[in-house]
């Protein structure tokens, strides 16, 4: 699976509305057949930073994502709300979903 984490620095005036701003893009991406997960979190240290954790089944699914109409639309509509270019980590990993954190197992 392709595992991606990206940090988005949002303009302060848009930070509280960011979930609303990305709602259609998020819903469309989650509906892609190759999307494993696509989850936003807000930094507890910086209210203008959002972290996106996403995964796609394989390279083919990742390519379909970046070639989709909703991705192309996001490339146009999201940057005006950003204070900086997003930073990303992108890795292919040999698993299909989250693993359990055994060191903190709950009985």
Q: What is the mean pLDDT of each run of 10 residues along the chain (107 residues)?
A: 98 98 98 98 98 97 97 98 98 94 93
Full residue range of the structural domain in which residue 60 is found? 2-93
Task: Decide if 106 is inside a domain.
Answer: no
Domain count, the chain: 1
The pTM is what? 0.93
Inter-axis angle of helices 23-30 and 69-77, to 10 degrees? 160
Determine the Cα–Cα distance for residues 86 and 94; give it in Å rounded to an integer.
25
Q: Domain of 71: which CATH number?
A: 3.30.70.100
Q: According to the model, what pLDDT value does residue 65 have?
A: 97
**Residue from 72, 8, 66, 77 nearest 34 by CA:** 66
Q: Quote the pLDDT of residue 107.
A: 85
Rounded Cα–Cα distance for residues 77 and 73 (Å): 6
Q: What's the rounded Cα separation, in Å, for the pair 107 and 99?
A: 16
Is 75 part of a structural domain of the chain?
A: yes
Q: Residue 26 domain-assigned?
A: yes
């Amino acid at each position: 699976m392709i595992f991606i984490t990206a940090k988005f620095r949002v303009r302060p005036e848009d930070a509280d509305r960011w979930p609303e701003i990305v709602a259609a893009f998020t819903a469309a991406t989650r509906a892609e057949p190759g999307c494993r997960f696509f989850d936003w979190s807000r930094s507890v240290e910086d209210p203008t930073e959002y972290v996106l954790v996403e995964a796609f089944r394989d390279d083919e699914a990742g390519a379909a994502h970046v070639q989709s109409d909703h991705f192309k639309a996001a490339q146009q509509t999201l940057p005006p709300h950003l204070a900086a270019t997003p930073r990303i980590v992108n890795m292919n990993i040999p698993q299909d979903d989250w693993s359990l954190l055994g060191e903190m197992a709950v009985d």
